[in-house]
Amino acid sequence: MLETLKNVSFENLLGWFSVDMGIDLGTCNTLVAVRGEGIVLNEPSVVAVKKGTNQVLNNGMAVGWVAKEMLGKTPGSISAIRPLKDGVISDFEITEAMLGYFIRKVNGRSRIFGPRVVISVPSGITAVEKRAVFDSAERAGARRIYLVEEPVAAAIGAGLPFAEPTASMIVDIGGGTTEVAIMTLGGIAVCESVRTAGDDMDEAIISHLKKTYNLMIGEQTAERIKIEIGSAAPMDEERSMEVRGRDMISGLPRKMVITSEEIREALQEPLSAIVDTVTRTLERAEPELSADLVNNGIKLAGGGALLRGCDSILSTSTGLEVFLADDPLTCVARGTAIYLENLDTWKDTLQNDMEY
Ligand code: ADP
Ligand code: MG
């Protein structure tokens, strides 16, 4: 009995009165996972502000779904901002407002102590940006904060044996960045982060319709096209879809039908940037690690990996087996929650220069 009591640290005791949360601070979506409860929050990383200011609308409540609805449809006085758009924090104050809102929403008001949080951040962000994320979480009331690099969280969430002496490789295609990492023994051996991902696919679709048909469409429509008929490799049955937008010449609303073949063509550029990043990362790996990957293959995570045929083009270009993670959109968040559960054991083994 005494032994058991001795093992209960003060930290764990506090844990009974607060909630521990893992946060995937993504460029498109922010997810929060709570120990024992799974994913409790999944909202777009969008904030609506009064134009020209950093003032969040509705007393700081216009965040997430509420704000995303406003994207592209805001009246003159409001703008809906994605503070992490290109994988960097473009706006510190707004990121802070957003993170604070999500943390408070999950933590609730009933808890006595602030939560312990593990936040995954894109591996490409600078030390200053990491500090900003940390400070935001602190101001939002977090009691203890750990930052973990996104590929590590993704690998944990995807169930890769990343802490073992064998190489595993993860490719996380998000909205703003694609993160590619080869890991072994709990650390990142090689990693690359490129600012080409799902958003760039949407932009490629927008520019294709503009160039080819003089049709202007919004970001939301472009994303819908990508999800509905987009592909990286030829499909068994090609598809078509009706789209609506504004004619650039007459200025009037117009609709037309587009095909999956032309969308695939339009997606070539962002896709080849992603493929190049993957092959470049492989080229930088030590031969022993490469050898492991012949057996272990590559795991895909992130929403962008859901594009049809993404796995097959990566497999063709690398010669390795490529597997899509279960539920790629929640992989990182689930990884942060598992990280939290194993904090005591992993804290020292994992490369973690980000605990303050
Ligand atoms: P982040 O980590 O940057 O927030 P996510 O992992 O949440 O990004 O992925 C968001 C991206 O995934 C968006 O660009 C979205 O359009 C894309 N996405 C989501 N579902 C699909 C799908 N079925 N097919 C293609 N892309 C998708
Ligand atoms: Mg992500």
Which residue, by CA, sits nearest to atom 9 of ligand 1? Answer: 303
* Distance from Cα 105 to the centre of ligand 1, integer Å: 23
Ligand 1 atom with minimal separation from the 304 CA: 12
DSSP string, 16-83: HTS-EEEEEE-SSEEEEEETTTEEEEEEES-EEEETTS--BHHHHT-BTHHHHTTTT---TTEEEE-T
Is residue 301 within 8 Å of 331, Cβ to Cβ? yes
Pocket of ligand 1 (CB under 6 A): 26-29, 174-176, 198-199, 223, 226-227, 230, 302-304, 306-307, 329
Ligand 1 atom with minimal separation from the 223 CA: 16
The confidence band for 269, taking pLDDT boundaries of 50, 70 and 90, is very high
The confidence band for 353, taking pLDDT boundaries of 50, 70 and 90, is very low
The region of weakest confidence among 69-73, 114-118, 128-132, 147-151 is 69-73
Does the pLDDT value for residue 233 go beyond 80? yes
| pLDDT score at 347 | 66
Is residue 300 within 8 Å of 314, Cβ to Cβ? yes
Is residue 328 within 8 Å of 301, Cβ to Cβ? yes
Ligand 1 atom with minimal separation from the 150 CA: 2
| pLDDT score at 95 | 87
Question: Mean pLDDT in the chain?
Answer: 88
C-alpha–C-alpha distance, residues 331 and 314, integer Å: 19
| pLDDT score at 78 | 82
The type of residue at 188 is I
